[in-house]
Chains A and B, each alone.
Chain A
Amino acid sequence: DAGVTQSPTHLIKTRGQHVTLRCSPISGHKSVSWYQQVLGQGPQFIFQYYEKEERGRGNFPDRFSARQFPNYSSELNVNALLLGDSALYLCASSLYGWEYEQYFGPGTRLTVT
């Protein structure tokens, strides 16, 4: 079975631009979560979606938004990019909610110049 997939693998953007990151969960998983991992730190929770509804939100500005589609795939959007948004963005899927094991994708490395 395929694991969690994310696209693109790497991305370079300029300050002020917009970016969309994509995630496909493991087949059968209904929940997707997004995390930001700055180099040398642990991942920081951004969003969790379950059955296309937002179930949790971390301490990130409104420039960050996400959605989950009927096929349970998900997009993370970031507007008005700042240099500080440079990070590895991880997507994780799980069968249901927060108490279930999360399976992580390989991440998207975003560099903002």
Chain B
Amino acid sequence: AQTVTQSQPEMSVQEAETVTLSCTYDTSESDYYLFWYKQPPSRQMILVIRQEAYKQQNATENRFSVNFQKAAKSFSLKISDSQLGDAAMYFCAHTGTASKLTFGTGTRLQVTL
């Protein structure tokens, strides 16, 4: 069975600083994808970044980047130059050939001035 674990229920970062959100996962599949989704208080979930397991290069999207450690089954999200609009729930998610997207429990990110 697939599991996704986010061990940080809440994180706080000052505006313009950098923060890293942690995620570990467990899977028996060799072909899978990992995602970070953001859910702002208005609740619509949006994709932040996507990583294919077969790619060794870490994905990057503007201020968002991941540290993908396949052997350790770790997939952390780094947000650089944090902005007030980054405040949201962040969910790590995994999907494999079973057509099932499994989410973690989420990390609530607060951005302070």
Contact = CB atoms under 8 A, between A and B. Distances in A.
A104 interface: yes
A48 B102 CA distance: 12
Given A98-B95, A101-B50, A106-B43, A45 B106 contact: no
A88 B43 contact: yes
A103 B47 CA distance: 8
B92 to A, nearest CB: 9
B55 interface: no
A40 to B, nearest CB: 8
Contacts of A99: 33, 52, 95
A42 interface: yes
A25 interface: no
Contacts of A41: 105-106
Which has the most chain A C-beta neighbours within 10 Å: B43, B45, B46? B45
Given A56-B98, A98-B95, A99-B95, A42 B103 contact: yes
Nearest to B37: A104
A66 to B, nearest CB: 13
Nearest to B98: A56
A45 B4 CA distance: 13
Interface of A: 33, 35, 41-45, 48, 55-56, 58, 88, 90, 92, 97-99, 101-107
